[in-house]
Amino acid sequence: MIVRDKPGVMQLLFAVRGSVLPQIAPQLLIVTVVAALAVLVDHTVYRLNYANGTPFAVFGAALSLFLGFRNNAAYDRWWEARKLWGGLLADARLFARELEMFLPDPLLRARLLRLFIAFLHLHRAQLRRLSNDAEALAKAEAAAPGDGLATAAHPPCAAVNLMNRLLAEAHADGRLDGFGARAISTRMASFGLAQASCERIAVTPLPYVYSLLIFRTSWLYCLLLPLGLIDSAGWLTPLFAGIVAYTFFGLAEVTEELAHPFGHTANALPLDAICRAVEISLAPHLGETPPPPLTPRNFRLD
């Protein structure tokens, strides 16, 4: 995720980090070249048949509606994912306090908190489809040496299942009373629900037909646009066609990134930073020195 103060005019004009310009540069180049060729042919070889602005106004309005609808749908996914991970952070803090209140065994409390940290990193790695994430593997091994959490069919669930088994044993042994077991199981249900909701977002993309419709109509509009600009814009047609293409292709690319909030793009959620925030919050309960928070590198927070 891009994190930076309000940019100035020059930064707004020339900032590349966090923008979608590198991704859409080939499309802009193609549209600009096609527009330039159309102007060249019109002025030197054969006078083209011009179109007035009415068809492009109607076409552009319809395309804007499609883009707006898709942008809203993509942002809803991104914002829901951010709320779910914010909920996991809150659950981590409340989980640690509830353990201290209801579970007197300090060794068991520490193991459960380390398992929660392992669960969160394994969940992050699964959402990002990182099968060999070094940090997630290290956290899993530190929390449960030899239990094979990282090699389980579903590593995050394996961590939660182990936590549940330890709590069930503590309840059966009388180390955890019924009220405490109820409170802690409710907390575990909360972050289990958040986990399932994140997986739903990750495995259920926006319908492909939306992307197909947006990109097809964007290409058609931008490639036909020179016919409506040559008569009035002349040699400036490539410039205006490029600006329009930047708007439509740029917005389409932004929605594509927002629709995948757990990805590796500059606009994806900073899952590493949220996991570190959890570690900082739980460190006092583990009797450890909190690690430093992750900071943006070149305005990007992962």
What pLDDT digit, counting tens, does each position of 104-148 carry?
989 999 999 999 999 999 999 999 998 888 888 888 888 888 778
Categorise residue 110: left if φ over 0, alpha if ψ from -120 to 50, beta otherwise: alpha
Task: Report how far apart, in Å, the C-alpha atoms of 121 and of each of 54, 159, 253, 294 are.
Answer: 54, 10, 28, 15
Q: Is residue 95 part of a domain?
A: yes
Residue with tokens 């430093």: 292
Percent of all residues in the chain with a pLDDT value above 90, rounded to a whole number: 39
d(CA 228, CA 55): 9
What local confidence, expressed as pLDDT, does residue 147 receive? Answer: 79
pTM: 0.87
117 assigned to some structural domain: yes
pLDDT score of 72 more than 80:
yes
Which is higher by pLDDT, 17 or 140?
Answer: 140
Which H/E stretch holds residue 16? Answer: none
DSSP annotation of 274 reads: H
Q: What's the structural domain count of the chain?
A: 1
Query: Is residue 2 a part of any domain in this protein?
Result: no
Distance, in Å, from the CA atom of 66 to the CA atom of 98, rounded to the nearest integer, reads: 48
Residue 89 lies in a domain: yes
Residue 47 belongs to some domain of the structure:
yes
223 part of a folded domain = yes
CA angle 14, 31, 7 (to 5 degrees): 15
* Best CA proximity match to 30, nearest among 231, 237, 242: 242
275 found inside a domain:
yes
Q: Is residue 134 part of a domain?
A: yes
pLDDT the model gives residue 4: 63
Phi, psi of 46 (to 5 degrees): -150, 130
Q: Given 3-state DSSP classes, what are the helix, strand and coil percentages for the chain, each rounded to the nearest 5? A: 75, 0, 25
**Cα distance between the two ends of the chain:** 6
Angle between helices 53-102 and 271-286 (to 10 degrees): 10
pLDDT-based confidence at 160, cuts 50/70/90?
very high
Q: How far apart are CA 57 and CA 26, in angstroms?
A: 25
Mean pLDDT of the chain: 86
Residue 15: band (very low, low, confident or very high) from pLDDT cuts 50, 70, 90: low
* Domain, as residue range, for 124: 23-286
